[in-house]
Amino acid sequence: MREFDLVVIGGGSAGLKAARTAARLGRSVLLAEERELGGECFWAGCVPTKAMVRAAQVWHLVRRCSEFGITVDIRETSFARAMEYKEKVIRTVGGDGPEDGGLSKLGAVYLNTRASFENSHEIRVGNEVVFGRQIILAAGTIPYIPPVDGLEQVGYITNREAANLTSLPRRIVIVGGGPIGLEFAQIFRRFGSEITLIDKNTHLLRQEDIEIAELARGFLEAEGVRILTEANTERVETIEGGKRVFVRQGGELISFDCDEILVAAGRRIAPEYLNLDAAGIAYEDKRVVTDRFLCTSVPHIWAAGDVCGGYLFTHVASYEGKLAALNAFTDQPEPFDHRVVPRCTFIDPEVGSIGITEQKARELGLGVHIQSFSFADLDRAIIHGEPHGMVKLVVDDLDGQILGAHLIGPDASSVLAELAVCMKNHLPISAIADTMHAYPSFPEAVEAAALSAPNYRGQVDGATS
């Protein structure tokens, strides 16, 4: 039986980072990936959807271009060509690198096969069983499919198929109002589909600040996305030429006819394919249980990325992959730092946040105040023709530390970066207020929110004051 210092299960953002980190430490490493190296992010998540977001944004801008002085007759739109753009982006981001992601160059072994536990040290990879002194589980998640009557028989798509459609469905019902559901809703709406989005919660984007989530809803509705919240998808049936979705909202049963049902109702782990029980790894529906060092219930088995639940983002997966690999080979493991994790939803305008919401701060009984600024008053946003959204900062009354930052506005995912640096380094909000920002720029919205402190005594004559 071949033995390795580390066996990594899954070759997405978390697994690749873990394998490369351990290999660079000089450890013998085997990584098993059953589909394609790169994982969900590369093939069916971040990269393709963000290319689709961009294509849909250009379609949207062209429709509004008369505002900027150009009159165009749109003679043809081609969803197929927009999807060709997405394909080109995937090829370019992937580059011409080696098919094993450079693992063999680092001395690691890559097997393109499914891995499953035989016991806590032995792992079946294809026809072989290998021994791992340490193991990192980085198997990601699969879409959670809610138990809706008739759904399996009638058929549905998830993000994988949605990112690979070759023709545009005329009417789509989207089940789920989280980041994935919202991104696809706007993408397909801008490409011309009729969209109905159904969510069981009171607010969309339930991880986000309520005010920001409500603004996001308003922006999508203004573009013609029909949104139902506190609505339960009850039943689905086939009708002539399409599908019918029955939704209960309040006491009322409403039906929507569509050509495609896109399920974006959350993610779950797939313990059945991994045989986690054979290794004695504790897990719940949506995550493998880990401690703050990313160690599972079995001391030499670690977990990284989406499989750990919580923040389902590529940058988190990559960070955890590295952390798990470092922790597996040290006596002084480092904990995962939950405090500063950027979260983004790539609708237009973008949603970006870090830290706790105002609602959470109040629940925790923390003494905080809110400092905010509207993009409607920001010169750069007005110049750009996108004066929408806001910056909202949750600030500790005692020491001016930023406990949470919540943005919806142009380029929010990038604007968020300075807040991340500030929070990571425990800088008070005055650090932003006292820093000169370029005029006219989107980060000035953050500066303006920082300057709006009631007791701020610094220089207040800047361009945005």
Ligand X SMILES: Cc1cc2nc3c(=O)[nH]c(=O)nc-3n(C[C@H](O)[C@H](O)[C@H](O)COP(=O)(O)OP(=O)(O)OC[C@H]3O[C@@H](n4cnc5c(N)ncnc54)[C@H](O)[C@@H]3O)c2cc1C
Distance of closest approach, residue 417 Cβ to ligand X, in angstroms: 14
| Pick 184 or 373: Cβ nearer ligand X | 184
Distance of closest approach, residue 281 Cβ to ligand X, in angstroms: 13
φ/ψ of residue 321, rounded to 5: -60, -45
Between 412-424 and 444-451, two packed helices, what is the crossing angle to 10 degrees?
50
Distance of closest approach, residue 291 Cβ to ligand X, in angstroms: 18
DSSP string, 99-112: TTTTTGGGT-EEE-
Partners of 267 in the β-ladder: 143
| Pick 49 or 186: Cβ nearer ligand X | 49
Distances (CA, A) of 125 to 19, 26, 117, 157: 16, 22, 9, 29
Distance of closest approach, residue 290 Cβ to ligand X, in angstroms: 13
| Pick 103 or 433: Cβ nearer ligand X | 103
| Pick 50 or 392: Cβ nearer ligand X | 50
Closest CA to 411 of 326, 352, 339: 352
DSSP structural state of residue 250: T
Distance of closest approach, residue 125 Cβ to ligand X, in angstroms: 8
| Pick 294 or 445: Cβ nearer ligand X | 294
β-pairing, 128-137 vs 3-9, is parallel
Closest CA to 450 of 381, 394, 386, 368: 394
| Pick 319 or 373: Cβ nearer ligand X | 319
Distances (CA, A) of 387 to 62, 390, 408, 409: 18, 9, 11, 8
Between 210-222 and 179-191, two packed helices, what is the crossing angle to 10 degrees?
20
| Pick 174 or 453: Cβ nearer ligand X | 174
| Pick 49 or 452: Cβ nearer ligand X | 49
Distance of closest approach, residue 122 Cβ to ligand X, in angstroms: 14
Distance of closest approach, residue 196 Cβ to ligand X, in angstroms: 19
| Pick 302 or 313: Cβ nearer ligand X | 313
Distance of closest approach, residue 166 Cβ to ligand X, in angstroms: 18
Q: d(Cα 139, Cα 8) in Å, to the nearest integer?
A: 9
Residues of this chain that interact with ligand X (CB under 6 A) are 9-15, 32-35, 39-41, 45-46, 49-50, 114-116, 138-140, 159, 180, 273-274, 305-307, 312-315, 317, 346
Residue 261 · residue 153 · CB < 8 Å: no
| Pick 352 or 404: Cβ nearer ligand X | 352
Structure-token pair, residue 96: 């011409």
Contacts of 376 (CB under 8 A, 6+ apart): 382, 387, 388
Closest CA to 144 of 130, 162, 159: 159
Closest CA to 10 of 308, 298, 300, 344: 308
Residue 119 · residue 131 · CB < 8 Å: no
Distance of closest approach, residue 415 Cβ to ligand X, in angstroms: 16
Distance of closest approach, residue 403 Cβ to ligand X, in angstroms: 22
